[in-house]
Amino acid sequence: MAATKRLFKIYIVAMLLLSVGLPLRAAHIIGGVITYECLGGGNYRFTLKIYRDCFGGGAPFDSAPGSPLQGTVTVYKGNSSAPFKNIELSGPSITNILPNISNPCLVAPPNVCVEEGVYQFNLNLPTTNESYHVVYQRCCRNNSISNLVDPGETGATYYIQLTKEAQALCNNSPTFNDFPPVAICTGEPINFDHSANSNDPGQGEVLKYELCNPFVGGGTDQTNATQPFGVAPNPDLPPPYGFVTFSTPYSSTYPLSANPALTIDENTGFLTGVPNVVGQFVVGVCVKEYRNGVLISEVRRDFQFNVAKCDPTVIADIKEDEIVTLQGQEYYVVNVCGPQVVEFDNQSFQQQYINSYSWNFNIKGVDTTLSVWDAKLLFPDTGTYYGSLKVNPGLTCGDTVFIQVNVFPGITADFTFDYDTCRAGPVTFNDLSESGAGPGSIVAWDWDFGDGKKTSEQNPIHIYQVPGQLPVTLMIRDSNDCAGLKTKTIQYFPVPELLVVAPSEFIGCLPADIYFDNLSYPVDEQYDITWDFGDGSGSTEVSPLHTYTTLGTFTVSLNIVSPLGCQIDTTWEDLITVLPSPVADFTYFPDQLSNLQPTASFTDQSIEAIKWKWSFGNSGISIEQNPVYTFPDTGLQAVVLVVFHESGCTDTTIQYLDVVPEVRYFLPNAFTPNGDGTNDGFRGNGSLEGATGFSLSIWNRYGEKLFETDDPNLAWNGRKDNTGKLAPQGVYVVLVNFKGPRGEPFKYKGYATLIK
Mean pLDDT (the chain, rounded) = 90
Region 459-488: mean pLDDT is: 96
List the single range of 92-101, 326-335, 471-480, 495-504 with lowest mean pLDDT. Answer: 92-101
Region 450-455: mean pLDDT is: 97
Which pLDDT does position 13 carry in this prediction? 38
* pTM of the predicted protein model: 0.49
Separation CA 446–CA 457 (nearest Å) = 7
Sign of the Cα pseudo-torsion (201, 204, 205, 209, in order): positive
Q: Render pLDDT for 339-385 as a digit per residue (tens, 0 to 9).
A: 999 999 999 987 877 889 999 999 999 999 999 999 999 999 999 99
List the single range of 96-110, 256-270, 543-557, 710-724 with lowest mean pLDDT. Answer: 96-110
Region 462-477: mean pLDDT is: 97
Give start and end residues of each alpha helix (H) in 516-556: none
Whether pLDDT at 16 is above 70: no
Share of the chain above pLDDT 90, in %: 77
Whether pLDDT at 23 is above 70: no
Sign of the Cα pseudo-torsion (334, 339, 340, 341, in order): positive
List the single range of 2-16, 196-210, 266-280, 732-746 with lowest mean pLDDT. Answer: 2-16
Our CA angle for 130, 136, 141, nearest 5°, is: 140
Region 477-491: mean pLDDT is: 95
Q: Render pLDDT for 311-330 as a digit per residue (tens, 0 to 9).
A: 666 889 999 999 999 999 99
On whether the CB atoms of residues 236 and 217 are closer than 8 A, the answer is yes
Which pLDDT does position 271 carry in this prediction? 96
Separation CA 54–CA 115 (nearest Å) = 6
Which pLDDT does position 312 carry in this prediction? 61
Which pLDDT does position 435 carry in this prediction? 94
Whether pLDDT at 109 is above 70: no
List the single range of 9-23, 602-616, 740-754 with lowest mean pLDDT. Answer: 9-23
The helix (H) or strand (E) run that includes residue 235 is none
Whether pLDDT at 224 is above 80: no
Structural domains of the chain ordered from first start? 20-311 (no CATH), 313-408 (2.60.40.10), 411-492 (2.60.40.10), 501-579 (2.60.40.10), 586-660 (2.60.40.10), 664-754 (2.60.40)
Q: Render pLDDT for 426-440 as a digit per residue (tens, 0 to 9).
A: 999 999 999 999 999
Strands 411-412 and 434-435: antiparallel
Which pLDDT does position 5 carry in this prediction? 42
Choice between 754 and 8, residue whose per-residue pLDDT is larger: 754
Whether pLDDT at 103 is above 90: no
Q: Render pLDDT for 122-166 as a digit per residue (tens, 0 to 9).
A: 999 999 999 999 999 998 888 889 999 998 888 999 999 999 999
The helix (H) or strand (E) run that includes residue 6 is helix 2-19
Length of the chain in residues, anyone? 756
How crowded is residue 224: how many other Cβ atoms within 10 Å of its Cβ?
12
